[in-house]
Amino acid sequence: MTEFAYTPRIKSAADRRVLGGSVASARQTQTNIPFAEQPSPAIAPKKKNTETIDKVVGRIPTLYVIVFAAIVTGCAVLIIWNTLQVNRLNYEKTQLAQTIEQSKQRIIKLKAQEMQLSAPDRIRQIAKSKFGMIESDGVNEIIIPSQ
């Protein structure tokens, strides 16, 4: 006798497990097992809800993926831009520090030159040589009262 595979229209998720197999053979396997050896529905191990990556990716809307990629890209661009700005500011800081140091050295040189040019001995020597002045001995001094 030939077994016929009969598959009725699937109305619920419970009927889908029979799809592709024969109903008669599924019934025979259940009836051939003695009643004591059949697993009870309460004790039967539950199926683990393992999903493949394809199923998970298939459920994620494309818009969420695009938004996530845009946020990650934006964060990467901001981090790179921030690093470049920090490097530029460090370079400017170094340049300004060098300029300040050069200015300080120039001020020190100018102060030394001012002290050298305003020395009393140098002024006496210029007064004697250029203007023909002589040093006062205090005898020929005339005091003119101010008005």
Domain ranges of the chain: 1-44
Residue 85 pLDDT: 98
In terms of pTM, does the model score above 0.85? Answer: no
Tens place of pLDDT for every residue, the chain, 147 residues? 566 665 666 555 555 554 455 444 444 445 555 555 555 555 555 555 566 777 776 777 888 889 999 999 999 999 999 999 999 999 999 999 999 999 999 999 999 999 999 898 888 888 889 888 888 777 777 778 887
Distance CA 96, CA 142 (A): 58
Per DSSP, helices labelled H in 17-61 are: 23-32, 53-59
Residue 8 pLDDT: 60
Distance CA 7, CA 20 (A): 8
- Could you tell me the two tokens for 144? 């003119």
SS3 percent helix, strand, coil of the chain, rounded to 5, is: 60, 0, 40
